[in-house]
Amino acid sequence: MVKKVFISIILIALYGCTKKNNPLSPSLGPSSTSIVAVSIALDYSEGNIGQYDLTNSTVNKNCLSQVSSDNDIRTYNGAVYILERYGKDNIIKISGSIIADSTVVYQRNIGASVNIQDIACVSETKAYITQYASTNVAIFNPATGNKSTKTIDLSAFNAYGGTDSAEKTPTMAREVYFHGKVYIACQRLKTLANGYMVPADTSLIIVINASTDSVERAIRLNYKNPQELCIFNGTLYVASVGAFGVNDAGIERINLQTNENEGIVVDEKALHGDVESIIIISDTKGYAVISTPSFATELCPFNPQTKTVGAKIAGIDSPCGNHMVCFGDYVYVGDRSAISPGIAAIDIENDTKIGTTKNIGLPPNSLTLLEIKG
């Protein structure tokens, strides 16, 4: 399996920052605002979830009795959705500001060995779930936890489809919802005899009409093996890694008004490594988690307009290669450091870490923003 490599509430992170107060204790706004992160032990033996409450600066560690060690997380309208992925294929819904076993609404299995990857909520009663080991996008009701018998078939986009080298799936991964459309990244990888997967056919962004559950078009990417999607100001930014350890990919952008690929933003040569995750917070500022040739990860700012990359941000030893969050004047990133793991805050004005890293129990794997209105 390839290296491990939102909508509504997380749209704040996708569309950029709104000015707030100190990240440690905002005095205005909703009655509860927190950074919620799924977490994984350094040896991948177990997983959990932690919470950093920005409203009162408290931390809740290892909030559930158990979470799969292959996990991801999303929020929508005050609810948390945990994805238990490979080997589990469950969606866990938690309602409200308190993350605990007692606030779990349901845990639903999506299918046998489908390796769910992402969930994009369209409404309170409709979401799409991408499945790495299937050709079908699952349609899911977040309110009830029930999966529809209807699916969206993406078999037409299997890698090398129509040839003797055709793969069994399009290896669909990340997805985002925007203005009635769902954008799904299909990595289109090839499975080798030893079970490893490598970049193969041209990677695509599949555009699905969320009203009709039909594919509208496929957008070709310049780079292969997309790992992260981020929307800002009507533009979809796609971060691709290509082959790990090779500077053969980078970040490109798609105009969501025309659904046309507008080309490369910055490549991995400029980033000095494999790009694993990004967040865009303005027309001229983004952050990227980079895996370096020395097998370390770094967090670096970059400018999408000038295509330049800044120096790595000090004080974050091992930024996780999944979702970051922007809230107020700060970007929050998970640090999987063996010495001081937790959630770190970055001042976007000067690209410096502020305060101490907030330990949430196990090292964080992926972050999301949870707001509960009073």
Question: What value does the mean pLDDT of the chain take?
Answer: 92
Residue 22 in this model has a pLDDT that exceeds 50: no
| Reported pTM | 0.91
Q: What is the pLDDT of residues 254-280, one digit of tens each?
A: 999 999 999 999 999 999 999 999 999
Percent of the chain with pLDDT over 70: 92
Residues 6+ apart with CB under 8 A from 273: 247, 290, 291, 292, 293, 298
Q: What is the CATH number of domain 8-264+359-372?
A: 2.130.10.10
* Cα distance between residue 276 and residue 250, in whole Å: 9
What residue type is assigned to position 346 of the chain?
A: I
| 287 compared with 12, residue with greater pLDDT | 287
Percent of the chain with pLDDT over 90: 88
Residue 75 in this model has a pLDDT that exceeds 80: yes
pLDDT of residue 69: 97
Tell me the CA distances in angstroms from 46 to 5, 34, 105, 315, 363, one per residue in order.
17, 23, 22, 26, 11
Residue 128, both tokens: 């799409």
**b or e along 108-142 (b: 16 or more beta carbons within 10 Å of the residue's beta carbon)?**
bebbeebbbbbbbbbeeebbbbbbbbbbbbbbbeb
pLDDT of residue 9: 35
pLDDT of residue 21: 39
Tokens 């780079």 found at = 223
Query: What sign for the dihedral angle of Cα 98, 100, 101, 104?
Result: positive
Closest CA to 335 of 350, 308, 313: 313
Residue 117 in this model has a pLDDT that exceeds 60: yes
Q: What is the pLDDT of residues 276-294, one digit of tens each?
A: 999 999 999 999 999 999 9
Q: What is the pLDDT of residues 168-209, one digit of tens each?
A: 999 999 999 999 999 999 999 999 989 899 999 999 999 999
* Cα distance between residue 298 and residue 319, in whole Å: 6
Residues 6+ apart with CB under 8 A from 345: 23, 24, 330, 331, 332, 353, 354, 355
What residue type is assigned to position 265 of the chain?
A: V
How does residue 17 score in pLDDT terms, banded at 50, 70 and 90? low
Q: What is the pLDDT of residues 298-320, one digit of tens each?
A: 999 999 999 999 999 999 999 99
3-state secondary structure 167-229: CCCCCEEEEEEECCEEEEEECCEEECCCCCEEECCCCEEEEEECCCCEEEEEEECCCCCEEEE
* Cα distance between residue 342 and residue 363, in whole Å: 6
